[in-house]
Amino acid sequence: MTWDQLYDAASRERLVDEPTKRVDAPERTPFERDRARAVHSASLRRLAAKTQVLGPQADDFVRNRLTHSLEVAQIARDLAHPLGCHPDLAETAALAHDMGHPPFGHNGEVALDLLGSDCGGFEGNAQTLRILTRLEAKSVDADGRSVGLNLTRATLDACTKYPWPRSADRTDGKFGVYDDDTRVFTWLRDGLEGHRRCVEAQVMDVADDVAYSVHDLEDGIVGGRIDLGLLDHADERSATWQTVREWYLPSASDDLLDAALGRVRAVASWPGSSYDGSRRGLAALKNLTSDLIGIFCGSVQRATQEKHGDGPLVRHQADLVVPDETWQEIAVLKGIAAHYVMRAQDRLDLMERQRSLLEELFEALWKRGSDALDPALREDFAEANDDAARTRVVIDQIASLTDASALTRHALLVGGGEKLWP
């Protein structure tokens, strides 16, 4: 079957019709065009200076949001191909999945969610949809209003990790659309009922978890924050498993997590000694991350094909199958990084200062109004008809900043110049 047969006209539709490209332009599928638009977007470029776990200025080796997104995109493409998903569609979703992240990573999300309480809060995934359909400059509608990158329905659906609005029923606070972006959300979910994600979004989500689990571990080891040898001690494992329960698997027993650690430790490339900073040591870590990615993706591929067969899996025709043991292994690796890196006291102290900086920046922008905003956002501020709408514009401004530009903007509007990097 061709891609046009697998993805129907509704899947390839854009919110705003576009003229046919000139005849001498390269022949590309709609999803190849979507990928190109994501690659060339300013929002993707900004991720190079946004925190993944450790700030981009903390170490030349660690991932930032852009390099993380590129790695997620590669994993998503490799996972999509054998399942029959369009690889460009899955890759675009992966490239875009963190575009909505504000400065200082998830810590910035927490701060902006509180600051934006009167306009529906903040969530990085909802901000991603807002960027793709409104804030990123590429296309406009008949009234001259921005429609963002004007991506196809299938691509926007794949980029929607949490296809529902904010709800008091959800204790995790996750959601994928703000109230004032409901119109485009309704369009992209046309014909669908409930909160089921398309299989391409599921591919993106699993690829994110896989990348997160192995690469944050690698960054922590190379940065000297994680010594895998400590897990030989029962008390260290017990404390780490408590973090796993608090962050990822609430009901997991120590025995279950011990077994999951045992399985990943059984991988032939698992290091037999502490990291020593040598090329040989770094190569061993690279081999480990490669092997783990292959094991996790292979497990998902096999389990999914066992359930659905070998036929192409597209849109809402199937669900990805992730074996329980694979989730447990991923959670163990993520938990190790969370325990030794994210809960380190120096990082917690830094995070508190970062939140204070964003609060002060918000107040300064609010008081100055449109004059303190980027030119593209001044019109939005002027057109806002109440304080909640104006708050959303100020949140859009702060969310667009990199770690460095947030510090610069704070120094300009507030003063001080507090050091937030090592």
Distance CA(14)–CA(35), nearest Å, equals: 14
Q: Is residue 116 included in any domain, yes or no?
A: no
User: How many CA atoms lie within 13 Å of 419's alpha carbon, on the beta-carbon side?
Assistant: 4
Cα distances from 40 to residues 70, 123, 354, in angstroms, run: 13, 24, 29
What is the predicted pLDDT for the residue at 50? 85
293-317 burial string, b = 16+ CB within 10 Å, else e? bebbbebbbebbbeebeeebbbbbe
The answer to whether the Cα torsion of 7, 9, 10, 11 is positive or negative is positive
Going residue by residue through the chain, which has 422 residues, state the pLDDT in tens, using 9 for 90 and above: 788 889 999 999 999 998 776 655 667 889 999 999 999 999 999 999 887 665 555 566 677 899 999 999 999 999 999 999 999 999 999 999 999 999 998 899 999 999 999 999 999 999 999 999 999 999 999 999 999 999 999 999 999 999 999 986 777 789 999 999 999 999 999 999 889 999 999 999 999 999 999 999 999 999 899 999 999 999 999 999 999 999 999 999 999 999 999 999 999 999 988 899 999 999 999 999 999 999 999 999 999 999 999 889 999 999 999 999 999 999 999 999 999 988 878 878 888 999 999 999 999 999 999 999 999 999 999 999 999 999 999 999 999 999 999 999 999 999 865 555 44
The answer to whether the Cα torsion of 190, 205, 45, 396 is positive or negative is positive
Q: Is residue 302 included in any domain, yes or no?
A: yes
What is the predicted pLDDT for the residue at 304? 96
Q: Is residue 5 included in any domain, yes or no?
A: no
Q: Is residue 295 included in any domain, yes or no?
A: yes
The answer to whether the Cα torsion of 297, 300, 305, 306 is positive or negative is positive
Type of residue numbered 273: S
Q: Is residue 421 included in any domain, yes or no?
A: no
DSSP string, 113-129: HHHTGGGT---HHHHHH
Q: Is residue 10 included in any domain, yes or no?
A: no
What is the predicted pLDDT for the residue at 422? 40
Domain that holds residue 340: 199-346
Q: Is residue 333 included in any domain, yes or no?
A: yes
Residues whose CB is less than 8 angstroms from the CB of residue 33 and which lie 6 or more positions away in sequence, other chains included: none
Which one, of 107, 110, 153, 130, lies nearest residue 347 by Cα? Answer: 107
Tokens of 3: 């891609």
150, 139 in Cβ contact below 8 A? yes
The pTM of the full predicted model, rounded to 2 decimals, is 0.93
Q: Which residue is it, tokens 């804030």?
A: 135
Beta bridge partners of 14: 152
Q: Whole-angstrom distance between the N-terminal and C-terminal Cα of the chain?
A: 54
What is the predicted pLDDT for the residue at 421? 43
3-state secondary structure of 227: coil
147, 15 in Cβ contact below 8 A? yes
Tokens of 34: 């979507």
Q: Is residue 128 included in any domain, yes or no?
A: no
Q: Which residue is it, tokens 């120096």?
A: 346
What is the predicted pLDDT for the residue at 173? 83
Task: Count up the domains in the chain and report the number.
Answer: 1
What is the predicted pLDDT for the residue at 113? 96
